[in-house]
Structure 1
Amino acid sequence: MTDTGTDTDTVTQRLRSGTRAWHEALESTGFAAAMLAGTLPLDRYVGQLAAYRVVLSALEAELASATCPSVASVWSPDLVKLPLVERDLHHFAATQGAIPDPGPAAEEFAAEIRRTAATEPRELLGFLYVLEGSTLGAMFLCRYVTEAYRLTDGNGASYYGSGDRTRWAALAERLDRALGEPAVQEQVLAAAERAYRHIALISGELSAGLGAPTPEPVQPAVSP
């Protein structure tokens, strides 16, 4: 596991620095490049939504039912994203027909979420950090999506348009309060890295034929 933080960093600062290489690697995928270029096939965009439906269904269900005090103090109903993904998929089912299968990588991520909930529920917060953080990036990408697929009135872009910096700041504050112990922070950081690996596999499936391999981050130096 990588960790470029210091003992005085908050958990969200450690999560940000410890996963930066993964974040940058995902930006180099064929999926990301095609989206920025406005050439991403619609079925790949809808395929990502279908994959995230599987992942969010598992994650949000486990977070909502967790009895772990740390999870209960961080999770909030305003973080729910599954209905937004469902709304987008309903739009495309009505306008385009069949929805692509989510692919095995999404199912593998969902299975890990359920295993983690049963063994180390606090690590679910590392998954939450990554998935909620991805909506901030989606805020930037939303205009590319709406222009490429001529989406109007938010139809088909509910999930990509769901990022909220105020909500993110509140989540970060709760994470910092709940995860003060260094050993727990290490666990949550490791979980965030696992989440990024799963998302990389999903992106790899969606990038097939678009000219870029599944991302592998360049690992930063490990702090002593």
Structure 2
Amino acid sequence: MTDTVSRRLRNGTRSWHEALESTGFATAMLAGTLPLDRYVGQLAAYRVVLAALEAELARAVSPSVGSVWSPDLVKLPLVERDLRHFAAQGTAPRPCPAAEEFAVEVRHTAVTAPTELLGFLYVLEGSTLGALFLLRYVTEAYRLTDGNGTSYYGSGDRARWAAFAERLDRALGEPAVQERVLAAAERAYRHVALISGELSAGLNSAAREVA
């Protein structure tokens, strides 16, 4: 029996997922010691990536992309809402060149192999489930209330994820296509790892401030 693409993606990217959980950024977040500008920096980095990815998905003419992409998957407004909140509090994000590199690859892929955008989408949509788990750590560390600053981290939805995975499985039944989308997902994870690496710089120093 041919395996579904969602299972292949889950199994094929597990090592990337586990590696990201051990970064300085992730461990500091779980410990409640991640500086606020790093959290805001991640949101700003994802804004760059999501702006490129969601725009390209919306304009893609690939039938596979059209059958999977849905307006309920849009996350850019949520990230922008969070960033406006922190900007009003005077917190500026750290620069993250790796986010721009990811956006460049998104735009290139949209021209050369648009179906592979679904591999990028798999990684970004999946990250919202992990963010939902981390929501309480973020809320407590930065004393956030009434959903301010947590629109993106609070956007994970298992029912939406299941519907997304089902559409992905229906659209990508050919093993050769699945292989290309899996390779794209691995590239996306590499970019996310580079973003996390930039945001982890210096977190092993003795003095760390949460805010």
TM over 0.5: yes
Alignment equivalent of 2:33, drawn from 26, 36, 39: 39
1:94 Cα deviation (Å)?
Answer: 0.3
CA distance in 2, matches of 1:195, 1:177: 22
- State the distance in 2 between where 1:173 and 1:118 align: 26
**Alignment gaps of 5+ in structure 1:** 1-6, 213-224
Q: Are residues 1:139 and 2:132 paired?
A: yes
In structure 2, the residue matched to 1:24 is 18
Instruction: Compute the displacement of 1:188 (Å).
Output: 0.1
Task: Please state how far the C-alpha of 1:211 moved relative to its aligned partner.
Answer: 3.1
| 1:100 Cα deviation from its structure 2 partner | 1.9
1:39-89: CA deviation from partner (whole Å, max 9, x where unpaired): 000000000000000000000000000011000000000000000000000
Question: Identity over aligned residues, as a percent?
Answer: 84
How far the C-alpha of 1:210 sits from its partner, in A, is 1.4
The residue number in structure 2 matching 1:61 is 55
Give yes or no for contact 2:37–2:94 (8 Å, CA) kept in 1: no
Match for residue 83 of structure 1? 77
Distance 1:96 1:152 in 2: 17
Deviation at 1:9?
Answer: 1.6
- Deviation of the 1:8 alpha carbon: 2.7
Structure with greater helix percent: 2
* CA-to-aligned-CA distance 1:184-215 (integer Å, 9 cap, x gap): 00000000000000000000000001139xxx
Of 10, 20, 29, 2:4 maps to 10
2:38 and 2:94 in contact (8 A); partners too: no
Q: Which amino acid in the other structure matches residue 155 of structure 1?
A: N
**Is residue 175 of structure 1 aligned with residue 188 of structure 2?**
no
| CA–CA distance in structure 2, aligned partners of residues 66 and 167 of structure 1 | 21
The total of aligned residue pairs comes to 205
| Aligned residues of 1:39 and 1:148 also touching (Cα < 8 A) | yes
Using structure 2 for the length normalisation, give the TM-score: 0.95
1:115-154 maps to which residues of 2 (within 5 A)? 115-154=108-147
What residue ranges of structure 2 are gaps of 5+ in the alignment? 206-211
The one-letter amino acid of 2:189's match is Y
1:110 aligns with 2:103: yes
Q: TM-score, normalised by structure 1?
A: 0.90
Between the aligned partners of 1:103 and 1:146, the Cα distance in structure 2 is: 23
The residue type equivalent to 2:170 in the other structure is R
In 2, the alpha carbon distance for the partners of 1:154 and 1:89 equals 13
| Selected match of 1:196 from 182, 189, 192 | 189
CA contact (8 A) 1:54 1:102 kept: no
Rounded Cα–Cα distance in structure 1 between residues aligned with 2:36 and 2:132 = 18
